[in-house]
Homo-oligomer: A and B are copies of this chain.
Amino acid sequence: MKVFIAGLGLIGGSLSLALKDRGLADEILGMEIGRERAAEALELGLADRIVSFEEGVEEADLTVLATPVDTIPLMAVKALNRVREPQVVIDLGSTKGELCEVIEQHANRGRFVAVHPMWGTEYSGPRAAVHGAFAGRTTVICEREKCDEDALYTIEELFRALETPLIYMGAEEHDLHTAYVSHISHITSFALANTVLEKEREDRHIFDLAGGGFESTVRLAKSSSTTWVPILLQNKYNVLDVLREHIHQLQLMRRMIERDDKEGLGEMIDRANSIQRIIH
């Protein structure tokens, strides 16, 4: 199979490595913005050739869109304008509502499969690509009923070969749940980093004392704005909804601390503990 990957950063680059490592692609064509990143991606072996978007889509059996989510809907339309059976187009973006709405009435809608592998790290760009990504993590496929049977089957087989369990959802449902489980965690982490950078003027102390749990809550704050601004704005209404609840929970804890309310605080923490029945 010849695969074209538009965007050879953390996600696209790691998919490229996974496909090569498992012998799932004969040739990988790639696209990157800017000469420097393109050269870097080639040098890192993330693509065999750098091509234009049009060349890539036309030549490849499978086109993968792995650019920031605000660029995906238009690229999806442009790709669908050019593909014919049995070619398939997928995206790997973290939001699906707008994308699925934009391509809904496209004559070639059936050739598109909306895919979200629940894997990532806080790093970005071609150098962030790693071997062994995706395996063991769930991959969400959205609106499977709108895909041509053969296109869906190709993608299901491909992701099964990457050892990622598949689950199925509507696009709206996907955006709701990822707001709860992924997007809010990033906001919290960004805000926590800024809180500490604002209050703690002496870097040395953060560095020395950070054993106390700080790294784990703030790790995601290294994530890039190029990736995350589009995600937070595309999933605006769900994100705002969860963010309001999160601020409310923090205000509840604040009031309990102010009033020395041992019992209330204990109950809140005990309730939070029950997250361990889900996350081990």
Contact = CB atoms under 8 A, between A and B. Distances in A.
Interface stretch (A57-65, A147-155, A243-251): A243-251
A265 B233 contact: yes
Given A240-B254, A247-B247, A270-B225, A277 B220 contact: no
A275 B180 contact: no
Interface stretch (A1-9, A36-44, A207-215): A207-215
Interface stretch (A17-25, A78-86, A96-104, A186-194): A186-194
A206 to B, nearest CB: 5
A216 interface: yes
A222 B192 CA distance: 19
Interface of A: 94, 118-120, 122, 137-138, 140, 167, 177-178, 180-200, 203, 205-225, 228-229, 232-233, 236, 239-247, 249-251, 253-254, 257-258, 260, 262, 265-266, 268-279
Given A122-B213, A222-B273, 12 more contacts: A180-B196, A181-B205, A188-B192, A191-B249, A194-B272, A195-B242, A195-B245, A203-B277, A225-B269, A229-B265, A240-B254, A246-B250
Which 6 pairs, one residue from A and one from B, show the smallest C-beta to C-beta distance? A182-B212, A118-B211, A225-B269, A193-B272, A191-B249, A193-B275
